[in-house]
Amino acid sequence: MRYVLLIFALAGVVVSSLALQVHYSTGTEPCDINARWDCGIVNHSSFSAVAKVPVAAIGIAGYLVLGCLGFARLRFATFLAAFWIPLRLPSFHD
């Protein structure tokens, strides 16, 4: 199962990288089929970025995190406990 996750994460990085290339390109897009089917319109619109960060870049980062977690066999909670300072919440049992 770990290898399936890695393959899908790698595929996601590749597809997101291609979308990021389309986002920054100015020429004819590879998916420009006709007036109705054109991914360049979406990748150049205001919906293709969140706080001026391209959605494709967010996708690359997300797929890399998923791939790393899958490779290391860490669960999200284990990742948080190992690498981030645990949250100190007040205890109501005292």
User: Does position 76 have pLDDT exceeding 70, yes or no?
Assistant: no
Q: Angle at CA 9, nearest 5°, toward 7 and 11?
A: 70
Q: What is the pLDDT of residues 11-69, one digit of tens each?
A: 999 999 988 988 888 777 777 777 777 777 777 788 888 998 999 999 999 999 998 88
Q: Is the pLDDT of residue 91 over 80?
A: no
- CB-CB contact of 40 with 22 (8 Å): yes
Q: Select from 45, 56, 50 the least CA-distant residue to 16.
A: 56
Residue scoring higher pLDDT (70 or 28)? 70
Q: Mean pLDDT, to the nearest integer, of 65-92?
A: 66
Q: Which two tokens stand for residue 84?
A: 């981030």
